[in-house]
Amino acid sequence: MLLAAESVLMIFLQVLAGYFICTRKWCKGEHSAVFSKISFYVLIPCLIFYQLVNLSPEVLKEAAVIIPAILIVSLVMFTLGYLAALFLRLPVNRRGVFASMLMTSNCAMVGIPVSTMLLGDNVTPYAMAVFAVQLFVLFTVGIYFIQKDAGQREKTGTLKTIRRIFLQPPLIAILVTVPLAFLKLDLPVVITDTARYLGNCASPISLIVAGIILYKMGKRGFVYEKGIIAVIIGRFVIAPLLVWGLGLLFGLPSLAIKVSMLVTGMPVMSNTLVVAESNGADSAYVTKAMAYSIFAMLIFIPVYQQLFQWI
């Protein structure tokens, strides 16, 4: 319980920092776009690079066994999410972000620290594998539909679509880094250091962006909106259960299943917010759902802890 509370407070404080710079009039609501752009084009790619590049091929291979299961779960969650969006009659401009929020969880900021604190340091490669898969689906499937939300999809040719999907900086970072990790190259310090300094900013800046957006929304920020409860149930109940079922079916090691459940059963991924904001989709909706899901984590982490004693 203490652990959950600490993670929630940590996130809360950093969001508050974003809110604070707005109340001091240092920053205006419109500036959330600058920070999310920097995050999307520079900080997140650097984070991915330096988290993945030092993993050894053995670790990558071992962790890779969970990739198919996580990939299937993510895609199932997305499909369910999209169907639910249609069923709930969500506005057209929210369907993509809604389904994306159901598909991916906050690995970098919450998932990895919480899973190492609960299960030990040796789970990081598994958590990273989940993270990599989730980034991959967010920056392929997710971004396709999020841009569609924003009405950027009128003129689609197959080639253009493929280019748009693959020319996302975070995805390029994954595609470049994994082969590099396998090659075990000794990279110059200038590259790893730059990536580390910039990558370390990714999570705090995402949360500061959330704070700026919350300020921009004002009191409306915490008004409940249709679909948020579905996001929470999807994130904290359905996704981990799917991972559990599929993990047993695939005969994955027990530790791998636990990590994957924990990491997928986390609040909404903060990168979703950055993607929505920098592509002009309904980022206010994402911020709200993110805020609610962060508080929901307080209830669910103790539940997971209890559950893990039985598995």
Residue 259 φ/ψ, nearest 5 degrees: -60, -45
Which listed range, 27-35, 97-105, 159-167, 289-297, lies at the site for other proteins (CB under 8 A)? 27-35
Q: What angle do CA 13, 16, 17 make, to 5 degrees?
A: 90
Which of 200, 250, 303, 308 touches other proteins by CB under 8 A? 200
Q: How many residues bind other proteins (CB under 8 A)?
A: 30
Output 153 or 196, the one with its CB closest to other proteins: 196
Q: What minimum distance in Å lies between the beta carbon of 117 and other proteins?
A: 11
Q: What is the DSSP string of the chain?
A: -HHHHHHHHHHHHHHHHHHHHHHTTSS-GGGHHHHHHHIIIIIHHHHHHHHHTTS-HHHHHHHHTTHHHHHHHHHHHHHHHHHHHHHTT--GGGHHHHHHHHH-B-IIIIIHHHHHHHH-GGGHHHHHHHHHHHHHHIIIIIHHHHHHHTT--SS--HHHHHHHHH--HHHHHHHHHHHHHHHT----HHHHHHHHHHHTTHHHHHHHHHHHHHHHHGGGGGS--TTHHHHHHIIIIIHHHHHHHHHHHHT--HHHHHHHHHHHSSSB-HHHHHHHHHHTS-HHHHHHHHHHHHHHHHHHHHHHHHHHHH-
What is the residue whose two structure tokens read 């971004």?
A: 143
**Cβ 84 vs Cβ 245: under 8 Å:** no
Q: What minimum distance in Å lies between the beta carbon of 295 and other proteins?
A: 15
Chain positions 34 to 73 lying near other proteins, rule: CB under 8 A, are 34, 37-38, 42
Q: What minimum distance in Å lies between the beta carbon of 270 and other proteins?
A: 13
Chain positions 5 to 24 lying near other proteins, rule: CB under 8 A, are 6-7, 9-10, 13-14, 17, 20-21, 24
Q: What minimum distance in Å lies between the beta carbon of 47 and other proteins?
A: 12
Q: What minimum distance in Å lies between the beta carbon of 261 and other proteins?
A: 24
Output 13 or 229, the one with its CB closest to other proteins: 13
Which listed range, 77-85, 151-159, 172-180, 183-191, lies at the site for other proteins (CB under 8 A)? 183-191
Chain positions 98 to 157 lying near other proteins, rule: CB under 8 A, are none
Which listed range, 88-96, 100-108, 197-205, 254-262, lies at the site for other proteins (CB under 8 A)? 197-205
Which of 54, 93, 116, 194 touches other proteins by CB under 8 A? 194
Which of 70, 77, 110, 205 touches other proteins by CB under 8 A? 205
Residue 223 interacts with other proteins (CB under 8 A): yes or no: no
Output 15 or 246, the one with its CB closest to other proteins: 15
Which of 74, 104, 105, 203 touches other proteins by CB under 8 A? 203
**Residues within the interface to other proteins (CB under 8 A):** 6-7, 9-10, 13-14, 17, 20-21, 24, 26-27, 31, 34, 37-38, 42, 188-190, 193-194, 197-198, 200-201, 203-205, 208
